Amino acid sequence: MIDAFSRLRAGHHTVLRAAALAAAMLAAGCSLLRAAPDRSRYFVISSSGTSAVTSRGRSDIHFGLGPVKLPGYLDTQNIVRMGAGGSVEYVPDAFWAESVKDSFSRALLYRTGSRIGTGHAVAYPWYSTTRVDFKVPVDVLRFEATSDGRAVLDARWSVEVAATGAVIAGTESVFEEPAGNDPASIVEALNRCIDRLADAIAAAVASAPPAPSAAPARSPRR
């Protein structure tokens, strides 16, 4: 009788220990399955820029920006950081809020127009009836952060007379700005790089000789 009671008591303790172990495992499982806080941050490229704009007072100029080309590895929502040996990395929890090609092109268009001092700036493609004195194609080679805390913009661009296709200016511009590792600082540094590219393009367009004038509209016959 005593042995039976002891066995019953031991079995009861085993059940309690098993229940306690199951409860602990369940609590741990719930903790592991609990959603982690979303630390994602989204950024845009400002159209207005980050530096003071110096207008060259050329409101007579009509210019078209584009086409603007970016390499495929930049065609992503992630903010790119170039690592050692040419490896492509991504800034953790940092994303563009829209297409980087669209926002880059728009920012460069408005900043360049402001520096030239003209409101006659259009993005590629434009209508055949749109007046364009000069067109500025841009081929972006790099637009990224680096593992050593810099932001880099490398672009080839030219200024062409729209009517004839003659190239009157052209170069490859490489701009670097200190960026650090914080995503907001990286975006600010990339914005400063766009400012410097807009400065270079605006100086070339504003100093260009007058483009051939379009033929004046004929008056209706009386």
Assigned CATH topology for domain 41-206: Rossmann fold (3.40.50)
Give the tokens for residue 122.
């259009």
Residue 104 pLDDT > 60: yes
Instruction: Tell me how many degrees the CA angle 36-74-200 measures, rounded to the nearest 5.
Output: 125
Which amino acid, one-letter code, is at 213?
S
Q: For residue 123, with 0-12 CB atoms within 10 Å meaning exposed, 13-18 middle and 19 or more buried, which class applies?
A: middle
Question: What is the pLDDT at residue 85?
Answer: 82
Q: Which residues contact 114 (CB under 8 A, 6 or more apart)?
A: 49, 53, 55, 198
Mean pLDDT of the chain: 84
**pLDDT range class, residue 8, cuts 50, 70, 90:** very low
How would residue 43 be classed by pLDDT, with cut points 50, 70 and 90? very high
In this prediction, residues 109-118 reach a mean pLDDT of 95
What pTM was computed for the model? 0.79
Of 43, 60, 55, 24, the C-alpha closest to 94 is 43
Which tops the pLDDT comparison, 95 or 3?
A: 95
Q: pLDDT tier at 94 (50, 70, 90 boundaries)?
A: very high
Characterize 10-26 residue by residue with b for buried, 16 or more Cβ atoms within 10 angstroms of its Cβ, and e for exposed.
eeeeeeeeeeeeeeeee
What are the residue ranges spanned by the domains of the chain?
A: 1-34, 41-206
Cα dihedral 174, 178, 183, 185 in deg (nearest 10) = -120
Instruction: Using the predicted structure, report yes or no on whether residue 198 has a pLDDT greater than 70.
Output: yes
